[in-house]
Amino acid sequence: MAWGKFSHSLIMQLSRIGPIALEEPLGGSPDSNVLRGVHLERNKAMAVKLLPRHMVNRPMGGDYFAADVKTLQKLVHPRIARVYGGAMDNGQPYLAMELVDGESLRCLLDRRGRLSWETTADIAESICEALVYAHEAGLAHQRLTPSRVMLTPAGGVKLLGFDCQMTDKDEVVGLRSPMTVANYLAPEAFRGKPSAALPTADMFSLGVIIYECLTGQLPWKANTPSELVQARRAGPAPRVSATVLECPVWLDVLVAKLLETKRGIRLATADATRRAIIDARRKVAAGMSAAQQAYSGRQGTLTVDTDRREIAQIRRKRVSHEQDNSPFYERVWFLALCLLVVIGVGAWFMRPKSEEALFAAAAPLMASDKPVDWNRAKDQYLNELLERFPDTKYKPQIDEFEDRYAVHRARERIKNLERFGRSPKSDAERLYAEGWRLERFDDPLSAWRKYEEATQAADKEDRDQRAYATLAREGINRIKSQAAAQLEVDQVVQAKLDEAAALASQGKELQARLVLDRIISLYGTNSKVRPLVQEARVRINQLDVN
């Protein structure tokens, strides 16, 4: 799909859609079709997803959009990102959704490689909670990947992307999907079977996710969807226990059942999977062995094959006594002691953190180069630290961090001024933005002058304005190191006129017009190059006539 390029050109034009003011793209890519937005009437932050225009006029007929939006609005669960609504604006369909803070499971795996089995089980159980609710509501996810599993700062899990199947409802998605999606799709999704929309397909996707969390690898190695289909037909995925020795047997068996390529023998429901995880973890915590589980005569969703002779031998050796011969860890006095320990530990950890502890927790996040970590440092630690300890001894380090964070915000805002048609909030911001545009237009001398004006206009008592002064000084230093700074303004404009002429001669009239428009907007008030600006206007008129 060419959605990325389409969305980029669209995002460049939009600053508002419906009642929502649009801000920067989310997901770390300027081409993302999901943007941060603010509902102007409710003053509520939300995520806005721009959908392909063609989805409302499908080849097979039918307008599913309104019905799909109503279905998604009914998914109200703490483990699922809410869809507030959807609409059309000038032919552009969009969804307004809950804005989820945190990082995706994909980012966590990219950073850490693999996760412990305990963490994996926690995440899988939370995913199952969301899927149980969605499946009971009659909706399967169908596009479940680690990128659509968000890990919130509070430690929770939220699923995104229940809307993803809306854009290709009438298509067979498997063989045309990018590998970032294809690796997680169930085999039935590659055959265009109706069963690809059933809950069992989600369970296969969950199996792939758990496998990757535990091993750091995908269960089947392939470079294309066709290779993936062949690899799955060749045989089952390697067992997790073959590479991860500390993986419990029950979890190894669970993953194998989820990854069955034949839908009929796959672990079928999210509820069964969740109960299997809870039951098996309880038995692991209680120290129950496989033989003990088999001897008890109870079988859950997961069973481990045991030697029947060994179990029979255990039965024969058992001697009944009137007194309590149960293990000490099952006796009342031991359980009561454990309860007291848990209460004491809980009280210890719930006490307010000290000044030193808050700063120690924030420090690695402050030192990170990722803005999401900076947000976590402020929201989880620094805000509380400054509120409880206004005269903290760490004020210099925090101020230095705040200045660095302000520079990042200023840089991102400048990038979005032109994209979203916003107005600068101060003279320092306006002058730096003008200098930045001139520098990108290969006019370093004019940019240098604007940067100097920005440093002088900035209010030194205002952190945000100081940030623009810092960026301006960086720009001046950057220009000083470039030989192109020796060019005169008229040489720059003439070079751009020549560039526009070359583009027009090659039939690239749109690109030529963009260059000419930039000349007029940047130098329309510069008397030194007034004749060249007039020539640019004449050439635009000629392009319009042609």
3-state secondary structure 343-404: HHHHHHHHCCCCHHHHHHHHHHHHHCCCHHHHHHHHHHHHHHHHHHCCCCCCHHHHHHHHHH
Whole-angstrom distance, CA of residue 225 vs CA of residue 287 = 43
What is the reported pLDDT for 331? 61
What is the reported pLDDT for 144? 93
Q: How many CA atoms lie within 13 A of 303 on its CB side?
A: 10
The predicted-structure confidence for 357-390, as pLDDT tens digits, reads as follows 889 988 998 888 887 788 888 888 888 888 888 8
The predicted-structure confidence for 159-196, as pLDDT tens digits, reads as follows 998 888 776 655 556 667 788 888 999 888 887 777 77
pLDDT at 137 over 80: yes
Whole-angstrom distance, CA of residue 298 vs CA of residue 43 = 55
Per DSSP, what are the bridge partners of residue 47?
36, 97
Measured in whole angstroms, the distance separating CA 428 from the mean position of its chain's CA atoms is 33
- Torsion 236-242-243-247 (CA) sign: positive
The predicted-structure confidence for 220-235, as pLDDT tens digits, reads as follows 999 988 899 999 999 9
pTM of the complete model: 0.53
Whole-angstrom distance, CA of residue 217 vs CA of residue 328 = 41
Length of the chain: 546
Percent of the chain with pLDDT over 70: 79
Angle CA 54–159–187, to nearest 5: 70
Rounded mean pLDDT of 84-99?
A: 87
What is the reported pLDDT for 211? 95
pLDDT at 404 over 80: yes
Main-chain dihedrals φ then ψ at residue 430, nearest 5 degrees: -65, -45
pLDDT at 420 over 90: no
What is the reported pLDDT for 31? 66
Return the residue matching tokens 């107005």: 423
Rounded mean pLDDT of 110-116?
A: 88
Q: How confident is the model at residue 352 (pLDDT cuts 50, 70, 90)?
A: low
pLDDT at 208 over 90: yes
What is the reported pLDDT for 344? 64
Question: Do 170 and 60 touch, CB atoms closer than 8 A?
Answer: yes
- Name the residue among 321, 332, 194, 305 with its Cα closest to residue 250: 305
Main-chain dihedrals φ then ψ at residue 188, nearest 5 degrees: -65, -20
The predicted-structure confidence for 471-528, as pLDDT tens digits, reads as follows 999 988 888 776 555 557 788 888 889 988 998 888 888 888 888 888 888 788 777 7
Rounded mean pLDDT of 532-542?
A: 88
What is the reported pLDDT for 28? 64
* Buried-state track 191-218, b at ≥16 Cβ within 10 A, e below 16: eebeebbbbbbbbbbbbbbbbbbbbeeb
10 Å Cβ neighbour count for 223?
8
What is the reported pLDDT for 314? 33
Rounded mean pLDDT of 387-412?
A: 88
The predicted-structure confidence for 18-60, as pLDDT tens digits, reads as follows 888 887 888 766 667 888 888 888 888 888 888 887 766 554 3
What is the reported pLDDT for 302? 54
Backbone conformation region of residue 419, classed left if phi is above 0, alpha if psi is from -120 to 50, else beta: alpha
- Name the residue among 400, 462, 396 with its Cα closest to residue 429: 462
Q: How confident is the model at residue 343 (pLDDT cuts 50, 70, 90)?
A: low
Secondary structure string (H, E, C) spanning 201-240: HHHHHHHHHHHHHHHCCCCCCCCCHHHHHHHHHHCCCCCH
10 Å Cβ neighbour count for 270?
25
The larger pLDDT score, comparing residue 440 to residue 219, is at 219
What is the reported pLDDT for 138? 87
Whole-angstrom distance, CA of residue 233 vs CA of residue 262 = 10
What is the reported pLDDT for 315? 39
pLDDT at 546 over 70: no
The predicted-structure confidence for 435-461, as pLDDT tens digits, reads as follows 888 888 778 878 888 999 999 998 888
Whole-angstrom distance, CA of residue 255 vs CA of residue 8 = 39
Percent of the chain with pLDDT over 90: 18
What is the reported pLDDT for 209? 95
Structure tokens at 138: 């009659």
The predicted-structure confidence for 257-306, as pLDDT tens digits, reads as follows 999 988 888 888 899 899 888 887 776 666 544 334 444 444 455 554 43
* Buried-state track 141-168, b at ≥16 Cβ within 10 A, e below 16: bbbbbbbbbbbeeeeebbbbbbbbbbbb
Per DSSP, what are the bridge partners of residue 104?
150
The predicted-structure confidence for 53-74, as pLDDT tens digits, reads as follows 776 655 433 456 788 888 888 8
